[in-house]
Structure 1
Amino acid sequence: MNKSRLNVRKTVVSSTLVAAMVFSPVLSDGAFAQVDSNEVKQSDSVSSSSNNVLNSGDRSEAVTALQTELESLGYYTYHVDGIFGQITEAAVKDFQEDEGLTVDGIAGPEVMSALSAVDSGATEPTSDEEPTESASQSEVVSIAKSLIGTPYVWGGTTPDGFDSSGFIQYVFNEVGVDLSRTERDMWKYDGTEVASPAIGDVVFFEGTYDVEGASHSGIYIGDNKIIHAGSSGVEVSDLSYDFWQDHYLGVKSFK
């Protein structure tokens, strides 16, 4: 997997990350983390932290530092919350794959050393480099925000009224991207699946009503929020709500 490093910020946090891992308590469970709380014991958490190892279910300042460092390298684009869930694990795996490390989603000493090495070679973006948010991403979000308040209409595909997939299709059509009519087909046939959402990507959900596959979607606008056409019309919603976490399917980029 090849990732652009053009917009990488020079982030000297590796020593902070190690210190946080040593001295911060590690808890369990978080957004998108499928961890049985009965299986997470305090002794295991202390051992994980003291051995400089972070993995799924951990929650601490060390995880926050890890997410921040992965974010600076372009691997983690979700909400920095200190919770080692599925999205953080996927970002670690992507980094491991690019660095030729064992791909297990566990942030141990080998990963920390590689992060430190990559950071030491990172450079500040110059005025000639493109910003992190591309013009098309900004335009997608701008169009989506302009439609907030539009009523929900079953089968609706215009600003007179949208259903959930009609809203997504309309916004991307406005920036020259043709998408399938239904979320199910968008998820199956359009775009590229990514590990975590960047601004302008589309987050998909399943099981929101009786249909096989993707059944709802929203445009990610940053800060752990999406714009979507729900039963109350086009609105902003927070992904931290249990409903979204329970029905989360994945993310696609239509850039």
Structure 2
Amino acid sequence: MKKTYTIRKGAVMALVATSMMFSPVLTGSAFAHGAAPSAPVQSAAGIVIPQGAQGQEVADLQKKLKDHGYNLKVDGIYGPITQEKVIAFQYAQGWNADGIVDKPTLNALNRTNAKSSDVVQTSKPVQTSAAKTTNTAAASDNTNDTVAIAKSLVGTPYVFGGTTPAGFDSSGFINYVFSQQGISLERTHAGMWENNGVHVSKPSVGDVVFFENTYKSGVSHSGIYIGNNQMIHAGTEDTGVEVTTPEQWKYYWSKHYIGAKRF
């Protein structure tokens, strides 16, 4: 499942001179662990509710997250799902999200006027047939969850055929991110492109972008779009799950792009 891409020297010489944006090897799938997208930042306020905690304090936290429009079960356990919602909320505030519940995070959650309107509205629902009408609030919540989960997995190693946080291939990565939101997808890129979700004319944050004729002919790769011609995908055995750059999109991915879907 390891993918090898050959890029013409003349097209990328200037790019390579500034940074090695393109790896000669692009793996078809990879998945990532549940770590935060950056090293936890210990604020002066310190940790108020540690990850793994249980009890009423955690239940109150979960209720506040629900008040802000995040869909999760109030069970009093600070597990991976609660951490993902905390990360999504922190990203919505424009912070360097780390999943740490400190005083600034609690203060933001305690704002009575912040409810679900604080959740960043990054995409609009697709207007399709009546049978496929999209609820705006639900679509926005899913968008935030998709990006937050994907970002939390950046750096996870590539494992051939992997479908768990111990290691993933590229289609396994997409499958896992959406399974955390209760969405079941086809196992392969081609299957997802053919059978899941709805096509959109232009990708919005949280949509899945698809590519063809990369390491093999036909639909062969996909990633989660995060805006600015960037995506999170299972990159190489060297990089694991990574965030691509606009330059990579311009010089490589745009040449293989076939469209986007919303799940």
Larger RCO: Structure 1 or Structure 2 (Cα < 8 Å, ≥ 6 residues apart)?
A: 2
TM-score (norm 1): 0.47
TM-score (norm 2): 0.46
